[in-house]
Amino acid sequence: GAVVSQHPSRVICKSGTSVKIECRSLDFQATTMFWYRQFPKKSLMLMATSNEGSKATYEQGVEKDKFLINHASLTLSTLTVTSAHPEDSSFYICSATDRKATNEKLFFGSGTQLSVL
């Protein structure tokens, strides 16, 4: 089945630094990728839709200058948390859909646990 690789799986950083998270579709092309944020024991909150070759679409309340998304190719999207603060600590998950697939199933990365000290 389709595989989405997310890296790193865990990152600890100091307040004020920036952190980049990568999301790759390994065996399919993904025109669109999605970035979610998840707090402990809570549901996934959609942050933004990443479109290959164009600007990301952010959900209401998500700061686009804080969470920079780049989708430079059909297999790679990156999320950069800029000037991270402790309140940005969370579990971030990406997902992608195979553009050749006819169903609407999403494939998820394994997530990135971000801890900002």
Partner 1 sequence: SQQGEEDPQALSIQEGENATMNCSYKTSINNLQWYRQNSGRGLVHLILIRSNEREKHSGRLRVTLDTSKKSSSLLITASRAADTASYFCATDSGGYNKLIFGAGTRLAVHP
Residues that bind partner 1 (CB under 8 A): 4, 6, 32, 34, 36, 41-46, 49, 59-60, 91, 93, 95, 97, 103-111, 113
We find the least distance from the C-beta atom of residue 100 to partner 1, in angstroms, to be 13
Sign of the four-CA dihedral 26, 36, 44, 57: negative
We find the least distance from the C-beta atom of residue 91 to partner 1, in angstroms, to be 7
Nearby residues of 93 by Cβ (< 8 Å), 6 or more positions away: 6, 35, 36, 37, 38, 44, 108, 109, 111, 112
We find the least distance from the C-beta atom of residue 83 to partner 1, in angstroms, to be 26
